Chains A and B, each alone.
Chain A
Amino acid sequence: MKRLISGSALLPILSFALAMLIGGLLIAFSDAKVLALRSEPWEMVKAGAATAWNAYVALFEGAFYDPNLARQGGGQGFYPISETLVVAAPLILAGLSVALAFRAGLFNIGAQGQFIFGAIGASYIGFTYELPPILHITVAALFGVFIAGIYGGIVGLLKAKTGAHEVIVTIMLNYVASYLLLWLLKTEAFLREGRNDPIAPDILESAQLPKILGSEFRISVAILISLLVAWLIAFLLNKTTLGFRFRAVGANAAAARTAGMSVAFVTTSVMIVAGALAGLGGALNVLGGEYALTVGIAGSFGFDAITVALLGRAKPLGVVLSALLFASLRVGGQMMQAKTDTPLDLVLVIQALIILFIAAPALVKALFRLKNINASSGMAAKGWNG
């Protein structure tokens, strides 16, 4: 509870609430039927509220539990939450990638490219070699993680050796990864037999991640793996010497250097780990959901990951929660679009608004009159110092 009002966790929650509120207003006022009632303000407000409510109900049902599907029996009502968790798994990992780099003072825009590399690696092993089930999954995932780790490590190495800014380098490497994927899918090694469009063969069954709830649902152990990795990253940051180095360099590189830490080592190694994390996201997206490598395999995972990391305050638990939130918004948004007149784009607007509010904490604090709660601790330190 204390943490909740300390400003670190409260701010994201309030930002989300505000974004949903504004999103609701947008739904209401972009609806033709609502606008048609302009002459009767009260009716218009009622209709607007109903429209927004319906849209959000559809969003919720689409993300978690659908009563219509439930009537088909067999637990089908839970199909949406299974889908949400399928999307959440790679998003958690990509989010962790960005968050970890943040903690070491680096802005990893390159999760998208690293994600693609992970997907390429896993897919290639997945459809090329025939191996026993568990081994096949492990090798495929690790190969994806390995090449994505190298891909991320390049950024760290360039930064450490030449001072090249990681934001520029990662943006450029995202393009390289996208076009490399496009090219690969046209090569003989990746082209699916009998097809001309860019899609790789399905991975073999032995490389598919085991499903948790049977073949009716897509949910696989990917979500469990991502939660385990989130826990591992929390452990790394808080309990290991490597994590201590990461945090120290991120918080004050000059002091870290003076204390004998190698900033170049941290920059390189954190980018290797960040690349590996995003790469695991890409690998699991192939092995545990999509099964085939396509041009759109990475979707916008790598970019949403930045939002997820920001919303999660670059802490592993925060990343998990915000990734779940974003996954449900995205999955539920599709149902909302299908059932109501509200387009999926609204979800993007809500995401953008969340970031806007997070980036402008003063605005949120002013709106909710939090100033005194949050300022007191800081003021005490300042006032007492003099």
Chain B
Amino acid sequence: MSVELRGITKSFGSLVANDAIDLKVDAGQIHAILGENGAGKSTLMNILFGLLQPDSGEILIEGKAIEVHEPSDALAAGIGMVHQHFMLIPVFTVAENIVLGHEKIRGVGSLDLREARTQIMEIAKRFNFEIDPDALIEDLPVGVQQRVEIIKALFFNAKIIILDEPSAVLTPQETDELLNVMRELKKQGKSIIFITHKLREVQEVADEITIIRRGKVVGKAKPTASQEELASMMVGRPVDLEVSKKPFTPGPVILKISDLKVTDNRGRPLVSEINFDVRAGEILAVAGVQGNGQTELARAILNLEPHVDGSITIDGHEIVGKTVNESLESGIAFVPESRELDGLISSFSIAENLILDTFHSAPISKSGILDLEKIRSNAEEYTKQFDVRLQSISDPASSLSGGNKQKVVLARELTRPVKLLVASQPTRGLDVGSIEFVHERILAERDAGRAVLLFSNELDEVMALADRIAVMYHGSIIDIVAPSVTRNELGLLMAGVKGKTA
């Protein structure tokens, strides 16, 4: 089934999120929509799915104009959508989640799932999925939960499936599986609209690529186009995907961790036997599969973990047992894993977020009284210096896009006099332009003689930035290797296999 959007325009106040967008998706094709965060991709898809109403423009299916006022209209027209944030109930089973809202009832109100279960099994068989209809959603890995969303769309006979940033929450392996699923769907005649900003995925599966920038279609491309070409169209200027690094000139040891052990409330070890140091002018990247103790190690350095044994010194000063504030003051800049949860207060203004850990001392405050004028000028200076795209510094942080949120965090942390930068997943969920910016900043910190401890699950990022790579496995550092290591060797270490690289 083909779908066409003609002249879709949608504005929010003075912002034109979609400006006369034309888009045609042919039957049985994977059509990628590429664009940075905030380019208007999600707005466009929310219009197609009936979650938003366009100011003007029309939607055609098989050449016939249709009215989409709400998602049920879209579903009826054969359009299904898998949202970036899943719409599943964790304590319900797969089958229950799929029939949700369309349950069949047997007898006096008891739920009849037999038919649904058979249908789900049929779909799974047809598309080569492995799924247990009776498994609870909360027990399933994220990748499988996403598959449930896809099955849900298929269950309602969707012929056009919108995937909104589907790989944002997936591990590399899960992403590969998703791409296979997409190929299988295409083989069986489904059309897929694939919203993303990840170039590799687009090149692998897309048949057609439409690039959107600032609410407008800026071009179309074939998947044979190079990553540089695609990225430049997306960002609107030439993009250098290679990270250029200055030679490694390590200085004195800044961070030294010895015999570190972190335990949970019941005394079970989360992280143990950690010994390493990071020198000034060095980036030590900690790689590993998510959930191998990286989060806890990063938090332990900030004294955010309650049960820590061993020693952590910054420039020779012991910080274990100190408060979070003392850790920060000893010269640590911290970019937490979750900007929304730990890095920012979304209801606070951008200006307030920029003083979150400096508000208590001069020049921001004097004897307990905030200097509002200084807070304002501080915000204006830093947002300019870090190129934060915003309307007003008094807008809440929640109004910013992901990349700009991260810039606010960086601006706050890196403008303090720090010796060590601890960055946890600093580019997670960011677009190309922002990733480039973050990488440049991290390298600039290194070149300015600061020590950098980078936690990242992105292998490319680790290999591009690191001067040394520490691999974490089951709460310990299994090995520390040079960045010249191959992907394969690193992959083996991440899986806990040691000895081949030694």
Residues of A whose CB lies within 8 Å of any CB of B are 238-242, 244, 247-248, 251-252, 254-262, 376-377, 379-381, 383-386
In the complex, which of the residues A256, A258, A379 contacts B302, with contact meaning CB atoms closer than 8 Å? A258
User: Nearest CB to that of B343 among chain A residues?
Assistant: A255
Inter-chain contacts of B346 with A (CB < 8 A): 251-252
CA distance A319 to B394 in the complex (A): 24
Known contacts: A380-B12, A381-B399, A384-B43. The answer to whether A254 contacts B342 by CB under 8 A is yes
In the complex, which of the residues B164, B348, B359 contacts A241, with contact meaning CB atoms closer than 8 Å? B359
Interface segment among B57-65, B240-248, B321-329: the answer is B321-329
Known contacts: A384-B12, A384-B38, A384-B401. The answer to whether A262 contacts B323 by CB under 8 A is yes
| A240 touching B369, Cβ below 8 Å | yes
State the Cβ distance, B18 to closest chain A Cβ, in Å.
9
CA distance A110 to B183 in the complex (A): 61
| A260 touching B325, Cβ below 8 Å | yes
Q: List 14 A-B contacts (CB under 8 A).
A: A240-B369, A241-B365, A241-B370, A244-B370, A248-B348, A255-B341, A258-B336, A260-B324, A260-B328, A383-B17, A384-B12, A385-B37, A385-B401, A386-B165
Is B407 part of the contact surface with A, judged by Cβ < 8 Å?
no
Known contacts: A251-B348, A252-B346. The answer to whether A259 contacts B357 by CB under 8 A is yes
User: Nearest CB to that of A263 among chain B residues?
Assistant: B324
Other contacts beyond A241-B369, A242-B368, A258-B324: 11, CB < 8 A: A240-B370, A241-B365, A251-B346, A256-B345, A258-B343, A376-B12, A380-B12, A380-B13, A380-B15, A384-B38, A386-B40
Is B42 part of the contact surface with A, judged by Cβ < 8 Å?
yes
A-B pair count, CB < 8 Å, reads 106
CA distance A240 to B357 in the complex (A): 14
| B368 touching A240, Cβ below 8 Å | yes
Is B398 part of the contact surface with A, judged by Cβ < 8 Å?
yes
User: Nearest CB to that of A380 among chain B residues?
Assistant: B12
| A383 touching B342, Cβ below 8 Å | no
User: Nearest CB to that of B12 among chain A residues?
Assistant: A380
Inter-chain contacts of A255 with B (CB < 8 A): 341-345, 356
CA distance A327 to B348 in the complex (A): 33
Known contacts: A258-B304, A258-B336. The answer to whether A385 contacts B38 by CB under 8 A is yes
Inter-chain contacts of B402 with A (CB < 8 A): 385
Is B347 part of the contact surface with A, judged by Cβ < 8 Å?
yes
Inter-chain contacts of B17 with A (CB < 8 A): 383-384
Residue interface mask B333-373, A partner, CB < 8 A = 1: 01010000111111110001000110110000100111010
State the Cβ distance, A136 to closest chain B Cβ, in Å.
31
| B372 touching A386, Cβ below 8 Å | no
| B368 touching A257, Cβ below 8 Å | no
Residue interface mask B1-30, A partner, CB < 8 A = 1: 000000000101101010000000000000
| B345 touching A260, Cβ below 8 Å | no
Is B97 part of the contact surface with A, judged by Cβ < 8 Å?
no
Inter-chain contacts of B372 with A (CB < 8 A): 239
From residue 51 to 101 of chain B, which have CB atoms closer than 8 A to chain A?
52, 84
Inter-chain contacts of A238 with B (CB < 8 A): 370
Is B216 part of the contact surface with A, judged by Cβ < 8 Å?
no
Is B41 part of the contact surface with A, judged by Cβ < 8 Å?
yes
Inter-chain contacts of A248 with B (CB < 8 A): 345, 348, 356
State the Cβ distance, B400 to closest chain A Cβ, in Å.
8
* Across the A-B interface, the 9 shortest Cβ-Cβ residue pairs: A386-B42, A380-B12, A260-B325, A259-B356, A259-B357, A252-B345, A258-B342, A260-B324, A383-B43
CA distance A259 to B302 in the complex (A): 10
User: Nearest CB to that of A242 among chain B residues?
Assistant: B368
Inter-chain contacts of B165 with A (CB < 8 A): 386
CA distance A380 to B396 in the complex (A): 13
| A257 touching B304, Cβ below 8 Å | yes
Known contacts: A376-B13, A386-B42. The answer to whether A258 contacts B370 by CB under 8 A is no
Is B434 part of the contact surface with A, judged by Cβ < 8 Å?
no
